């Protein structure tokens, strides 16, 4: 029998890609989103890719009654919780907004999982929990560092909520996926990243500069202790990242977990500097990008990349797309948005 996965935040960047991969892998998906940080572009894109409509519920996960009703209405085998605020800088200015939304929504998911006698819960975590790592690459056993923003705090706290609920409530099982830097777009160019206002993240800023919506990319710092002086990250293709969720959900619903709470890094294991990324974007798309070197951005870590071997071995998942393919997809998406 088909299993049903509830995807909170399913109209967003990661949620929409995960929905496509889940449906293509044979799952029924229920999307829930309050649309506070997106319009229906990605939802419509998901329906076009799949050739049909999916159940969509506009709701806020901070409303506990609504979450309970949702669980009562659908027989949910697994829930993937993406619905959260994600702007690091804004979380510093408005910590209460972040604590209320990101923590309360996840508590409501956990309450619902407990009251229905158990559920498989996948939490969308982040490499931000590792802070500035002492050793590279980071494994799941690398220590978490004190968070440098309320956003990062909420990721750490939600991981702990999940761990403790799994321990306390029979039938509740959990996986936290720690994403490195998700970038790119679906090869159809029908879904992708839709930042509101000025993008905080590197790749949307690059594509918006290339299309002419921004004048110039600022590279934040070229005096870091790396080969070319710019920061290094582990950029993971969004479709590869989405596939990791399918592997994790399948592991849970098929009862193949080794522990009732598991953590996996989702990255490529390949560090790429900001300059290398910019150069790769120019080369693969055959264009020149207007950029300048600017001062360091406060709070940036120098370098972080994953040791993804646990996910490779246990989930049977591996990042497949090259950074060039991913940057070509990101550019195709930006052009699609611009109607070009």
Chain residues binding ligand UFG by CB under 6 A are 86, 88, 126, 128, 151, 181, 200-202, 205, 217-220, 231, 233, 274, 297, 300-301
Rounded distance, CA 259 to CA 140, Å? 14
The residue among 246 and 277 lying less far from ligand UFG, judged by its C-beta, is 277
- As measured in angstroms, the least distance from the Cβ of 220 to ligand UFG is 4
CB closest to ligand UFG, residue no: 231
Residue closer to ligand UFG by CB (options 49, 231) is 231
Structure tokens at 24: 């293509």
Say how many Å lie between the first and final Cα of the chain, rounded: 43
Count of alpha carbons within 13 angstroms of residue 152, beta-carbon side: 17
The DSSP output letter for 130 is G
Enumerate residues 6+ apart whose C-beta is below 8 A from 82: 7, 8, 9, 10, 12, 14, 15, 18, 124
Between 201 and 312, CB nearer to ligand UFG: 201
User: Of 33, 273, 28, 4, nearest to 14 (Cα)?
Assistant: 33
How far is Cα 311 from Cα 266, in angstroms, rounded to an integer?
7
- Tokens found for residue 105: 């929504």
Could you tell me if 154 and 126 are in contact, meaning their C-beta atoms sit under 8 angstroms apart? no
Which are the catalytic amino acids?
151
Local structure of 40: helix, strand or coil = coil
Q: What's the min distance (Å) between Cβ of 53 and ligand UFG?
A: 30
């Amino acid at each position: 029998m088909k299993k049903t996965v509830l995807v909170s935040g399913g109209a967003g960047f990661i949620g929409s890609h995960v929905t496509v991969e889940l449906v293509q892998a044979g799952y029924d998906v229920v999307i829930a989103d309050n649309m506070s940080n997106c319009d229906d572009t990605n939802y419509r894109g998901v329906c076009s890719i799949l050739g049909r409509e999916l159940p969509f519920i506009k709701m806020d996960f901070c409303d506990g009654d609504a979450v309970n009703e949702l669980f009562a209405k659908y027989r949910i085998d697994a829930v993937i919780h993406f619905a959260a605020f994600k702007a690091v800088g804004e979380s510093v200015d408005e910590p209460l907004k972040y604590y209320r939304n990101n923590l309360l929504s996840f508590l409501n998911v956990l309450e619902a999982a407990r009251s229905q006698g158990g559920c498989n819960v996948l939490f969308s975590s982040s490499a931000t929990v590792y802070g500035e790592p002492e050793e590279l690459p980071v494994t799941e056993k690398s220590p978490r560092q004190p968070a440098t923003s309320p956003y990062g705090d909420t990721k750490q706290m939600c991981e702990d909520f999940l761990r403790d609920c799994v321990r306390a409530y029979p039938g509740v099982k959990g996986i936290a996926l720690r994403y490195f830097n998700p970038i790119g777009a679906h090869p159809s160019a029908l879904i992708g990243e839709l930042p509101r206002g000025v993008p905080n993240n590197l790749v949307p800023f690059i594509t918006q500069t290339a299309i002419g919506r921004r004048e110039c990319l600022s590279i934040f710092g070229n005096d870091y202790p790396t080969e070319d002086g710019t920061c290094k990250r582990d950029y993971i293709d969004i479709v590869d990242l989405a596939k990791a969720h399918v592997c994790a959900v399948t592991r849970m619903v098929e009862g193949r977990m080794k522990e009732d709470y598991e953590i996996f890094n989702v990255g490529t294991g390949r560090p790429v500097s900001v300059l290398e990324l910019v150069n790769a974007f120019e080369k693969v798309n055959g264009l020149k990008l207007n950029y300048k070197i600017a001062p360091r951005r406060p709070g940036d870590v120098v370098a972080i990349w994953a040791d993804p071997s646990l996910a490779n071995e246990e989930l049977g998942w591996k990042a497949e797309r090259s950074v060039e393919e991913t940057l070509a997809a990101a550019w195709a998406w930006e052009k699609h948005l611009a109607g070009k």
